[in-house]
Amino acid sequence: MTLLDMIPSLQPGIPPRLSPGIWPRDARYDSEGRITLGRVAVTDIADRYGTPAYVLDEAEVRARCRAYRKAFPRARIYYAGKALLTKAVAEWVSAEGLSIDVCSTGELAVALTAGVDPQRIILHGTGKSRDELEAGVRAGVGRIVIDSLSEIALLSTQLNRPQAVLLRLTPGIDVHGHPAVRTGVLDQKFGLPLGSADAAEAVRRILEQPLLQLAGLHCHLGSQIYDPDHYGEAVRRLIAEMAWIRRDHGHLITELDVGGGHAVAYRPGDAELNVAELADILDDALDAACARHRFPRPVLAMEPGRAIVARAGVTLYRVMSVKQVEGASTFVTVDGGMNDNLRVALYGAHYEAVVANRRPHGPQRTVTVAGRYCEAGDILARDIRLPVDLHPGDLLAVPCTGAYHHSLSASYNCVGRPPVIAVRDGYARELVRRETIADLLARDIGG
């Protein structure tokens, strides 16, 4: 128990603080005890647009883009659209000098509709269809990432002009963590194992195709990586592969894409990747590896997504009930859940939640924030501290929800997906409207 719990009267004189590691940098409490984002009170957003609602701080997204541009002034930085892609987000990151990584014809269409230069788009995907490859070629995307041997022939049939490609290799680097996000190890579905016969065959086949231009190699080690040394090791292994390709095929590769996966903090004290430290390690690794193999330094590329948008997002919920189970947990049920945040059920992710509509006074207790959906695993935050006087109608805010929330959202139980609301300089605007029952019924053409 803290001093504030023992002497509640001290609370009004001590303004509450929002952890700068997990909230947008301009998140504040106002004089009425309400949380504000982009100088907009979240209670006003909830009243106007309803809950649950995703709130996205535009200034935070842009600041994160600028931080990457400053740390890597000569690199090609592709924003990983799978983290969160709307037309507005595509416009913001493009205006800040970033390119965009897309993984489907839908993501490609969003980027193009937002006015992104096709040459600044890279097309990914581990099972790209003929239609997806055709769409990328037709749009004139700058790079297509080859993920399998069969994709080489499939892509070649779509071409009537040269197309730059990257070959995705798995370097055999285990960053640990949840199995679902370890993509750099050999036993998983992405790319081809570095040094394997299939990888050598892929190089040969690409170079045999007159309209395919092998511009670079690509890897992705996983997600939530906070140790930058893993990226340095990837650089060393891939530069060695580039040197082998030049020696055996006489072909000079000029680009090296080390993917993304940069860790962010979801709760105070969580480890996150230091971007400045990453820049130093990548620079040193490139210098050393290129000197060792007498290889010209390639253009570096990377694909941050979560690190750009995660902290910019906050999700708002209304408390529906507070239920104390005798001899067990206290459950705070809200009007959202796994439909708008699948990461807890999918990865066992951990989040914080705070009361957003008032400054709480008095003692707190440990609770579990549960969702409204018909699944026992529909949990948003386990064993967090919330006020004892929490009651239905209170507004909760969950920070660091900008990445893989809207993009993974669903309509389970026929509940429409939440809106995305942007805030900036005291104004709020709707980027994506709430999905309605009419939207759901429009797709159901049976009967």
Convert the pLDDT of each residue in 217-264 to its tens digit: 999 999 999 999 999 999 999 999 999 999 999 999 999 999 999 999
d(CA 279, CA 272): 15
Give me the pLDDT at residue 174, please.
Answer: 79
d(CA 410, CA 217): 34
Say whether 296 counts as a known binding-site residue: no
d(CA 157, CA 212): 11
Do 276 and 414 belong together in one domain?
A: no
Q: Tell me: pLDDT of 346 over 80.
A: yes
Give me the pLDDT at residue 20, please.
Answer: 86
User: 264 burial class (0-12, 13-18, 19+ CB within 10 angstroms)?
Assistant: buried
Give me the pLDDT at residue 188, please.
Answer: 56
d(CA 103, CA 440): 25
Q: What's the pLDDT tens digit per position in 268-281?
A: 999 999 999 999 99
Say whether 347 counts as a known binding-site residue: yes
Say whether 304 counts as a known binding-site residue: yes
Q: Tell me: pLDDT of 48 over 80.
A: yes
Task: Decide if 387 contacts 395 (C-beta within 8 A).
Answer: no
Give me the pLDDT at residue 25, please.
Answer: 95
Do 321 and 285 belong together in one domain?
A: no
Do 98 and 187 belong together in one domain?
A: yes
- Band the pLDDT of 328: cuts 50, 70, 90: confident
Say whether 404 counts as a known binding-site residue: yes
- CA torsion, points 116, 83, 51, 328, in degrees to nearest 10? 180
Give me the pLDDT at residue 415, please.
Answer: 97
Q: What is the CATH number of the domain that holds 72?
A: 3.20.20.10
Residue 69 sits at the vertex; the CA angle it makes with 118 and 263, to the nearest 5 degrees, is 95
At a CB cut-off of 8 Å and minimum separation 6, what does 417 contact? 339, 340, 406, 409, 410, 411, 434, 435
pTM: 0.92
Kindly state the tokens that stand for 243: 């040197």
Out of 65, 219, 290, 374, the active site residue is 374
State the amino acid at position 31 in one-letter form.
S
Cis peptide before 52 (omega within 30 of 0): yes
Q: What's the pLDDT tens digit per position in 81-97?
A: 999 999 999 999 999 99
Identify the domain boundary among 308, 335, 366: 308
Please, what is the angle between helix 87-95 and helix 105-113, to 10°?
A: 60
Identify the domain boundary among 249, 277, 308: 308
Do 238 and 358 belong together in one domain?
A: no
Which is nearest to 421 in space by CA: 21, 79, 46, 20?
46
Q: What's the pLDDT tens digit per position in 151-197?
A: 999 999 999 999 999 999 999 897 765 444 444 445 556 789 999 99
Do 339 and 409 belong together in one domain?
A: yes
- Band the pLDDT of 329: cuts 50, 70, 90: confident
Instruction: Decide if 374 is catalytic.
Output: yes
Q: Look at the block and give the residue holding tokens 């530069």.
A: 239
Residue 100: CB atoms within 10 Å: 29
Half-sphere exposure of residue 40: CA atoms within 13 angstroms, side-chain side: 23
- Band the pLDDT of 12: cuts 50, 70, 90: very low
Domain containing 38 equals: 3-57+311-443
d(CA 83, CA 60): 15
Which stretches does DSSP call E strand in 238-343?
255-257, 299-302, 313-324, 330-334
Do 271 and 151 belong together in one domain?
A: yes
Do 32 and 127 belong together in one domain?
A: no
Q: Tell me: pLDDT of 4 over 60.
A: no
Say whether 303 counts as a known binding-site residue: yes
d(CA 335, CA 265): 25
Mean pLDDT of 111-140: 96
Query: Burial code of 69-88, b = ≥16 C-beta within 10 A, e = fewer?
Result: eebbeebbbbbbbbbbbbbb
Which is nearest to 111 in space by CA: 134, 71, 80, 137?
80
Q: What is the CATH number of the domain that holds 7?
A: 2.40.37.10
Identify the domain boundary among 308, 340, 360: 308
- Band the pLDDT of 75: cuts 50, 70, 90: very high
Residue 123: CB atoms within 10 Å: 27
3-state secondary structure 163-186: EEEEEEEECCCCCCCCHHHCCCCC
Q: What's the pLDDT tens digit per position in 284-318?
A: 999 999 999 999 999 999 999 999 999 999 999 99
Give me the pLDDT at residue 187, please.
Answer: 55
Mean pLDDT of 202-225: 96
Do 291 and 316 belong together in one domain?
A: no
Helical residues (DSSP H) of 341-436, grouped into ranges:
343-347
Do 134 and 237 belong together in one domain?
A: yes
Q: What's the pLDDT tens digit per position in 423-445?
A: 999 999 999 999 999 999 999 99
Residue predicted with more confidence, 423 or 19: 423
Say whether 54 counts as a known binding-site residue: no
Chain Cα centroid distance, residue 404: 5
Kindly state the tokens that stand for 224: 């939530």
- Band the pLDDT of 359: cuts 50, 70, 90: confident
Q: Tell me: pLDDT of 10 over 50.
A: no
* Number of structural domains in the chain: 2
Say whether 306 counts as a known binding-site residue: yes
The pLDDT > 70 percentage for the chain reads 93
Q: Tell me: pLDDT of 283 over 70.
A: yes
Do 327 and 356 belong together in one domain?
A: yes
Q: What's the pLDDT tens digit per position in 383-419?
A: 999 999 999 999 999 999 999 999 999 999 999 999 9
Residue predicted with more confidence, 181 or 357: 357
Which is nearest to 35 in space by CA: 297, 287, 352?
352
Task: Decide if 324 contacts 332 (C-beta within 8 A).
Answer: no
Q: Average pLDDT of the chain?
A: 92
Do 280 and 215 belong together in one domain?
A: yes
Say whether 15 counts as a known binding-site residue: no
Do 319 and 297 belong together in one domain?
A: no
Give me the pLDDT at residue 5, please.
Answer: 45
